[in-house]
Amino acid sequence: MEEKSQTVLRHVLETQFSDSHPRVDPHSSPEAGIFNKLKAAYDACMDEERLRTIGSKPLLDILRKVEKLFPAARPHSTSEPFPKLPHQAQKGLVYEGENQLTATVAYLASIGVDALVSFDVGADDKDPDSVVLTINPLRTTGLPSKEYYDDVDLVKSYSRTIGLVLEGLLLESNPNSTLHSTIGGRLSVNSESLVKDLVAFESKLAMATPSTEEAEDVTQYYNPRTLEETKSLLPQLSLQYIIASLAPPGYTTNRVIVGSPPYLEAVSSVLKSTSAETLQAYFVWKTVQHYAHRVDDSALKPLLRFNNELQGKDPDATEERWRTCVKVVDSGLGWILSKFFIEKAFSEEAKVFGDRIVSDIKAQFVKKLQKTEWMIHNIIQKIGYPTRSPDVRDPVVLQEYYKNVSITSTDFFGNAISIARFDVNREWSALGKPTDREEWGMSVPTVNAYYNPAGNEIVFPAGIMQAPVFYDPSIPQYLSYGAFGSVSGHELSHAFDSSGRHYDETGNYTEWWSNETVHAFKEKAQCFIDQYHGFTVPGADGEPLHVNGRLTLGENIADAGGLSASFAAWREYEEESPGELLPGLQGFSKDQMFFISYSNWWCGKSRKETAIDHIYRDPHAPIWARIIGTMANSREFRESFDCPKKEPTCELW
């Protein structure tokens, strides 16, 4: 399905507008206007010869601005509006108020680069119709997660990569520079010292970040604080300045959510013992990591090779350029691309069918959870594509939506900066306004789905609703219910899992379960925790690495509940309209084919390195465990295949 979606999008982007829309004026219509913006973004990405000619120049322009905002090698004049920086050899960044550290963090945030902390704007969990600013720990500090910093050999390789890239960029910027150079492929003493300090700084930040399990837990990350209270945690950073820089004019607040107070305190402590030179190198490196894929330059090859090795790929592996560019356009101009995708790949019949499946499964949840019928009926289902905020069918609306995004066919890097600024501005502009419950968090071609607890909504983009798995008039429905139906049930189950149970029918974070129910839930949930902890993947050292049963609990509960509800819904559908057995597969019953369809949906392979990364960071269990564990937890599966033991390993609802 992913492959089909990409191919459809490639066809859209490589076809002339006049060929696909012969009756539309290509010079004046809004539809032609938005298509041309898509085409320009794609063409700029595909022009590899131009990218090689330009090299790292646009990235270096950004890096010079970062260095100007946060100079490390010289003291500042007293006439500047910020306190003086200590000399690069001194320690102790203990500023208060608006300062160069804050200005640099704010600038990087404006172009989509997270440094020191991450800012998120969204619905307030305790007041979901209001929008609030959250200050969070970094999602990644440099390496994918804190566990990677314990691998001595990996950190050495990472450090060498940083040194080679920064020195390469320095030589690109100033070919006559002898300040930092490589000798026989080894870093000079000065560079080696700086990189060592930079990686040590990153490592300290990483060690201070909460575990993925804690970061996903609303009872841990929802910590309302006043600005003054937040300042006491991290006095070197002025939230007032950042809000004034990024929020809408006139917006004021004295309340933010702090994702992890201990993390902010740790950042403050680390800053007090970090030199300005190290911090400048850190800000530069964060920018390089974020925008390296937008530059074609030999100076960045060590980073691309390192990233490939980190993922278990051949160091010189490259993706077909058109695939890269389809993803780039979808991530930047996704709603425009969505319009042309649904024209090519999503019918009204499919949308109606999707609504039916989700409604059928809702009915099964009502039967299972009779006392929470009110909750289930309040779950909003969004199918296919958004018709508001924006309406992706309307070219005039889309033209207005993206009017401030500047795209040309000759400036790939500039397009990225414009899109980043647009995305940041759109996110921050929500402050001071009611929550827009019509917004979607995924573009239409995405092969995925999600449950949003603050909105109490389940969302199924058209990308996941494609033949033959989802909808095709020629296939029996046990295939659709086994795969897509189970996904639908999975998302519905999230409303009652370890995380969703904290939200009521309006998406408000509250404890609406009785103490007795919570106690019984935790007892049953422990079975899932223990079961999935028993699954392992080979670790980097060859020793078994266990699945985190607590981190994956919500997803494992949702898999079990979704499968059970979808099977019951399909059985009722089968009574009305019996499906036929597939040719060549008559040896399997329809019930068995339902479970084969579910398992085939998840079947796949992962590289060892990818599997390890998922254990550390992914709230989902490995895909093979999602098959084996979920089947073991399905009474219906055990009965369909006549297993000796019919009792499920774990069962919640």
pLDDT tens-digit series, residues 233-287: 999 999 999 999 999 999 999 999 999 999 999 999 999 999 988 999 999 999 9
Which regions in the chain score pLDDT beneath 50? 74-98, 177-189
The pLDDT assigned to 188 comes to 47
Please report the pLDDT score of residue 189 as a whole number: 42
Instruction: Output the CA–CA distances (angstroms, integers) from residue 121 to 246, 427, 505, in the order listed.
Output: 11, 6, 22
Estimate the crossing angle of helix 486-493 against helix 590-602, to 10 degrees: 70
Nearest CA-CA partner of 554 in 589, 503, 605, 507: 503
How far is residue 324 from each of residues 6, 9, 52, 338, 450, measured CA to CA in Å? 10, 12, 16, 17, 24
Contacts 24+ apart (CB under 8 A), 45-51: 45/321, 45/324, 45/325, 45/328, 45/329, 45/412, 46/321, 46/322, 46/325, 47/409, 47/410, 47/412, 48/296, 48/321, 50/410, 50/412, 51/295, 51/296, 51/412
pTM summary value? 0.92
Asked if 247 and 428 touch (Cβ cutoff 8 Å), the reply is: yes
Nearest to 377 by CA among 387, 390, 397, 363: 363
Mean pLDDT for the chain? 90
pLDDT at 131: 98
What's the distance, CA 474 to chain centroid? Answer: 35
Cα 290 from Cα 207, distance rounded (Å): 21
Could you tell me the domains of the chain? 57-295 (1.10.1380.10), 467-640 (3.40.390.10)
User: Closest Cα partner for 484 from 505, 467, 506, 501?
Assistant: 467
- For residue 438, give both structure tokens: 């019509």
Question: What DSSP state is assigned to residue 387?
Answer: B
Could you give the CA distance from residue 99 to residue 116 in angstroms, rounded to a whole number? 15
